[in-house]
């Protein structure tokens, strides 16, 4: 029997990888938030989209400096993933709060996060308003993956990439 879904329609489109989205202010103060609404949209050239609530501090920072970093965690970073998804960098230093160590980025100003399985550094090429979110289209400037977590170019089960089901539920890719 088919059940009509009236709210939280996004649940039907999960699980989705949950990752750390890093950004930075004009005066050099970095921020990190947990994000799951993201997708590649083009391979040639490589373009990705991240969808961020207009109310998130991150949205303000990405609009301001036009760069962002995608940091793909392993399951060791699960606790930090929840912390960065439940508090705002407007009034807290989430790097400190979540015990995250900064890894210098190569081509963008926002820093990356030490210990992740992969990284994508992006520069904003277009911003689309979509309901309560901004969809930030980003040109991929560089992408890096930790070799030991790859199996012929694809994520291996070893990485334990977190997949967000919705609400407070996360499962692991295995």
Ligand X SMILES: Cc1cc2nc3c(=O)[nH]c(=O)nc-3n(C[C@H](O)[C@H](O)[C@H](O)COP(=O)(O)O)c2cc1C
Separation CA 76–CA 53 (nearest Å): 26
Work out whether 65 is an interface residue with ligand X (CB under 6 A).
no
Distances, alpha carbon 55 to alpha carbons 58, 64, 76, in Å: 8, 14, 28
Taking the mean position of all CA atoms in its chain, how far away is CA 155? 17
Instruction: Give the position of tokens 């015990």.
Output: 99
Q: Which is nearer to ligand X, 41 or 106 (CB)?
A: 41
Q: Which is nearer to ligand X, 19 or 119 (CB)?
A: 19
Q: Which is nearer to ligand X, 44 or 91 (CB)?
A: 91
Work out whether 14 is an interface residue with ligand X (CB under 6 A).
no
Separation CA 162–CA 1 (nearest Å): 30
As given in the structure block, the two tokens for residue 109 are: 């100003």
Binding-site member from 17, 24, 36, 117 for ligand X (CB under 6 A): 36
- Pair 21, 70: CB distance under 8 Å: yes
Q: Which is nearer to ligand X, 82 or 172 (CB)?
A: 82
Work out whether 62 is an interface residue with ligand X (CB under 6 A).
no
Applying CB under 6 A, the residues found at the interface with ligand X are 18, 31, 33-37, 51-53, 56-58, 82, 85-90, 164
């Amino acid at each position: 029997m088919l059940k009509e879904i009236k709210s939280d329609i996004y649940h039907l489109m999960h699980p989705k990888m949950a990752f750390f989205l890093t950004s930075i202010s004009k005066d050099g103060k970095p921020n990190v938030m947990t994000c799951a609404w993201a997708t590649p949209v083009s391979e040639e050239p490589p373009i990705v989209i991240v969808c961020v609530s207009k109310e998130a501090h991150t949205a303000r920072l990405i609009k301001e400096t036009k760069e962002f970093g995608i940091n793909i965690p392993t399951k060791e970073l699960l606790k930090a993933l929840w912390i960065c998804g439940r508090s705002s960098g407007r009034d807290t230093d989430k790097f400190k709060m979540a015990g995250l160590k900064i890894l210098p980025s190569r081509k963008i100003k926002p820093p990356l996060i030490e210990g992740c399985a992969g990284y994508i550094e992006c520069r904003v090429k277009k911003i689309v308003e979509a309901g309560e979110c901004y969809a930030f289209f980003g040109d991929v400037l560089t992408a890096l993956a930790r070799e030991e977590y790859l199996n012929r170019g694809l994520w291996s089960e070893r990485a334990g990439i977190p997949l967000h089901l919705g609400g407070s539920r996360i499962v692991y890719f295995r």
